[in-house]
Amino acid sequence: MDIRFDNKTAIVTGAGIGLGRSYALLLASRGARVVVNDMGGSMDGSGHSETPAQKVVDEIRAQGGEAVADYNDISSIQGAGSVVKACCDAYGKVDILINSAGILRDKSFAKMEMADFEKVISVHLLGTVYMTKAVYPIMLENKYGRIVNTTSAAGLYGNFGQTNYGAAKMGIVGFMNALKQEGAKHNILVNTVAPIAATRMGEGVYPEAVLSALKPELVAAVVAYLSSEQCTLSGEIISAGGGYYAKVQIVESRGVRFKPTDSVTPELIADRLPDITKMEGAVHFGSAIEEVMAMFKHLL
């Protein structure tokens, strides 16, 4: 099975450098027409430059591919709308949206300025939402869409100094969980990658010894699959880095059941805590309704 993107149009946000660049190059090399979006700021989101996006477009064209550059800030509704308009003006439709743009403003929560919290939420979470909102009517009309969002181990599992980033990255998972249900009957698949790569963002964080293994291209392979017509997944989180690929899931322990007529005291909860938190046989629920129905089962 050859995975190609002929006649497909993709928007990749934050594609001037790092992971986004790698996604744009791979999709374009396999026939996609790509909008390379990047506002070209520094890692904390300040500044603006057209050079990174333009360079990626030049690279794609030099290899015989089709791409246009876009320099809009995806953290505003208007900016996101302009990226999508640029895609429609150039190529007439949007089949694929890869939300990769991101910034960092790390600080322990005690020292965190709320402006830095809000800025990180606005780029990662709201940027993803605004971009998706702008492409969604087009995907609905075409009954086709592939959306790949970006979370992080920092959100899935927690990282010191990243309450803002962690909240934004888990918010993206919650956004996907609902959207996968709404998009399903329209052939709009939405998945989320949790990448690790030696980009500008990753370089200062990972041990020197592993940096050369953390090639963005290794993440791009799974992002391209999730962006493809052949993709069979929706609502999944895939962790990828250094050649490792794994599914991440939120699971719930089997729990304990008291009768609703029992008098359940805090002491009883403390006694049964080992059973409540025992993760053997933990289960995943495909939707909130499934989880709630499982809870109600012994009440009906």
Ligand X SMILES: NC(=O)c1ccc[n+]([C@@H]2O[C@H](COP(=O)([O-])OP(=O)(O)OC[C@H]3O[C@@H](n4cnc5c(N)ncnc54)[C@H](O)[C@@H]3O)[C@@H](O)[C@H]2O)c1
Residue type, 83: V
CA distance 41 to 56: 15
* CB closer to ligand X, 89 vs 203: 203
Strand order in the sheet with 9-12: 66-70, 33-37, 9-12, 96-98, 145-150, 188-196, 237-241, 244-248
Least Å from the CB of residue 130 to ligand X:
10
In contact, 197 and 216? CB cutoff 8 Å: yes
Q: How far is the CB of 30 from ligand X (least distance, A)?
A: 20
Q: Which is nearer to ligand X, 144 or 190 (CB)?
A: 190
Encode 124-141: b = buried (16+ Cβ within 10 Å), e = exposed.
bbbbbbbbbebbbebbee
Q: Are 282 and 252 in contact (CB under 8 A)?
A: yes
Tell me the backbone φ, ψ of residue 132, rounded to 5 degrees.
Answer: -65, -40
Identify the bridge partners of residue 33 per DSSP, sorted by sequence position: 9, 66
Q: Does the annotation count 91 as an active-site position?
A: no
DSSP assignments along 213-228, one per residue: T--HHHHHHHHHHHTS
Quote the least distance from Cβ 180 to ligand X, whole Å: 19
Catalytic residue among 136, 165, 206, 225: 165
With contact defined as beta carbons under 8 Å apart, do 199 and 38 qualify? no
For the CB of residue 114, give the shortest distance to ligand X in the complex, in Å.
Answer: 19
Which is closer to ligand X, CB of 17 or CB of 26?
17
Nearest distance in Å: CB 37, ligand X: 6
Q: In this structure, are strands 145-150 and 96-98 parallel, antiparallel, or unpaired? A: parallel
Residue nearest to ligand X (CB): 18
d(CA 192, CA 214): 19
DSSP string, 39-102: ----TTS----SHHHHHHHHHHHHTT-EEEEE---TTSHHHHHHHHHHHHHHHS---EEE----
Residue placing its CB nearer to ligand X in the complex, 71 or 144: 71
Q: What is the smallest separation between the CB atom of 166 and ligand X, expressed in angstroms?
A: 11
Nearer to ligand X, 57 or 123 (CB): 123
**E strand or H helix at 12, and its extent?**
strand 9-12
Instruction: Return the number of the residue (100 or 234) whose C-beta is nearest ligand X.
Output: 100
Write out the residues near ligand X by the rule CB under 6 A. 13-14, 16-20, 37-41, 43, 45, 52, 73-75, 100-103, 123, 127, 150, 152, 195-197, 199-202
Active site residues: 165
